[in-house]
Amino acid sequence: MKPTGILFFPAFDWAISPTHPEREERLLYTRDQVFEEGIMDLPQIREYKPSIAGLKDIARVHFCVPDIESQITEAHLVAVGSALTIGDAVMQGEVKNGFAIIRPPGHHSMTVSHGNRGFCNINNEPIMIEYLRKKYGIKKVAIVDTDVHHGDGTQEIYYDDPDVLFISFHQDGRTLYPGSGFMDELGGPLAYGTTINVPLAPRTTDTGILYVLDNLVKPLLEEFKPDLVVNSAGQDNHYSDPLANMAFSAQGYARLNSKLAPDIAVLEGGYSVETALPYINMGIIMAMAGIDYSNLREPDYSPTRFRESSSNLEAIKKTVETQLAVFRRRGDTIAANRKKGGDFYKTHKHIFYDTEYIHEEQVVQLRLCPKCSGFRMINSSAQHPNGKFYRVFCISIPVNACEECQQQGRSYYKDMVNNGKFNFVYLQDRIKDEYKSMDMGTETERVL
């Protein structure tokens, strides 16, 4: 039996600010617990060393404004690099599955990054997934986001990609940051049904969450048949988390992981650093490695402490039924959307960056291609905390774009460079694996 790969990168020398929840000792007690247990010495575990990602890996997913260097620190490069290392270990068959216990987190970062949103600047899992898609030719990927917060960044990145199934369950957006992740957020017109949200009422317990897993997530995965399952493994559904209000336990997390059996899990949020994280991380490692976790629990845990209310369970059942139906008729819905015709599908967005009080305005255009799921263009503007105002134009050609979409995308880049209305014009060409950014002020182009 192959071992489970663990990459533990607590970034003991990095914090957003000294008392911010995303600070040095977030994984200190996890370190204490995991090392004291001696689990890393077991033959079922293989520990990996963190590594450093390249700028190109980031450019494959993000348009960082004005450039990547100004949006990240070295810690981000190591967190991303670590996810790539675990991805490689799994894809090369060195391990049966892998868990990257890394920080800083990333799942609130969207395609365009003007700054830090919800403790995130760049998004670890999509960067890893695009890297693995490019390197190993994987097509279909499922991401299951089990963080208590809606994984709005990951959702946005894959909103128009029908080959990536994004499932997020989280505390209802009416009661928690980022205030999104409602049931009607189901993907763009040509990728309808491969974004599935399950908002849950505060105080939902193990019973409720595992019901979602058994009755929605598992069937979705069985029908979607992904080549790779990634768990965005936030740990803030825990009953002791200071930033949210759910009632999930370490046992619950371990059972969730056993049922889901992800190929790769990547840590996201979770801020109950003393009373939850050490036990949840142990639980996930044990579940992934196939080690019996029945002896694991938090010091203050009691199996009778939280009871799922029957009304909540009824509500969850209804949500599950609705979302399953939406997913199953996605083919028809997409066909109908295509028939409606039109050249581009246009949406206006306002995006708020809570950490840095940035307000971004976006106009997104998706090409309604008859042959593929189109390519995206984002016209984005925002004032940065340093007072500078940026107006940028971004073109993203996905891995599954058709010939026509590729050519159009590339020629729009030339047009927008000539247009002169923008500070920066970016082209993300995932087919050629080439990433261009044109600084109109200095008229210099950078190609990664």
**Residues interacting with Zn ion, by CB under 5 A?**
147, 149, 234, 236, 269, 369, 371-372, 402, 405
Question: What gap in Å lies between CA 356 and CA 327, rounded to an integer?
Answer: 36
Bridge-based pairing state of the strands 424-429 and 434-439? antiparallel
Pick the binder of another protein from 23, 140, 203, 446 (CB under 8 A): 23
Is 296 a binder of another protein (CB under 8 A)?
A: yes
Partner whose footprint covers residue 29, from Zn ion, another protein, none (CB < 5 to 8 Å by kind): another protein
Question: What gap in Å lies between CA 276 and CA 115, rounded to an integer?
Answer: 29
Assigned token pair, 421: 């209305």
Assigned token pair, 123: 């998004």
DSSP lists the bridge partners of residue 436 as 427, 447
Partner whose footprint covers residue 13, from another protein, Zn ion, none (CB < 5 to 8 Å by kind): another protein
Pick the binder of another protein from 28, 243, 363, 402 (CB under 8 A): 28
Where do we find the tokens 């409602």?
182
Pick the binder of another protein from 56, 134, 135, 297 (CB under 8 A): 297
Minimum CB–partner distance for residue 227 and another protein (Å): 28
Is 49 a binder of another protein (CB under 8 A)?
A: yes
Choose one: 75-83, 129-137, 195-203, 344-352; the region binding another protein (CB under 8 A): 75-83
* Closest-CA residue to 200 (of 241, 236, 234, 168): 168
Give whole-number Cα distances, 56 to 62, 135, 269, 389, in Å: 10, 13, 25, 25
Pick the binder of another protein from 1, 137, 225, 299 (CB under 8 A): 299
Q: Is 20 in contact with 63 (CB distance < 8 Å)?
A: no
Q: Is 108 considered catalytic here?
A: yes
Pick the binder of another protein from 274, 332, 403, 415 (CB under 8 A): 274
Minimum CB–partner distance for residue 335 and another protein (Å): 48
Handedness of CA 106, 108, 110, 113 (dihedral sign): negative
Is 55 a binder of another protein (CB under 8 A)?
A: no
Choose one: 39-47, 188-196, 261-269, 367-375; the region binding another protein (CB under 8 A): 39-47
Partner whose footprint covers residue 32, from Zn ion, another protein, none (CB < 5 to 8 Å by kind): another protein
b/e burial code for range 415-427 (CB count within 10 A of at least 16 → b): ebbeeeebbbbbb
Minimum CB–partner distance for residue 16 and another protein (Å): 13
Is 14 a binder of another protein (CB under 8 A)?
A: yes
Minimum CB–partner distance for residue 327 and another protein (Å): 38
Assigned token pair, 447: 């190609």
Question: What gap in Å lies between CA 441 and CA 228, rounded to an integer?
Answer: 42
Q: Is 79 in contact with 58 (CB distance < 8 Å)?
A: no
Q: Is 200 in contact with 172 (CB distance < 8 Å)?
A: yes
Partner whose footprint covers residue 368, from Zn ion, another protein, none (CB < 5 to 8 Å by kind): none
Annotated catalytic residue within 108, 149, 150, 238: 108
Is 282 a binder of another protein (CB under 8 A)?
A: yes
**Helix/strand/coil for 126:** helix
∠ Cα 404 409 414 (to 5°): 125
Choose one: 37-45, 105-113, 225-233, 387-395; the region binding another protein (CB under 8 A): 37-45
DSSP lists the bridge partners of residue 46 as 5
Contacts to another protein by CB under 8 A: 8-14, 18-19, 23-25, 28-29, 31-33, 35-39, 41-42, 47-52, 73-75, 77-78, 81, 274, 278, 282, 286, 291-292, 294-297, 299
**Residues with a known catalytic role:** 108
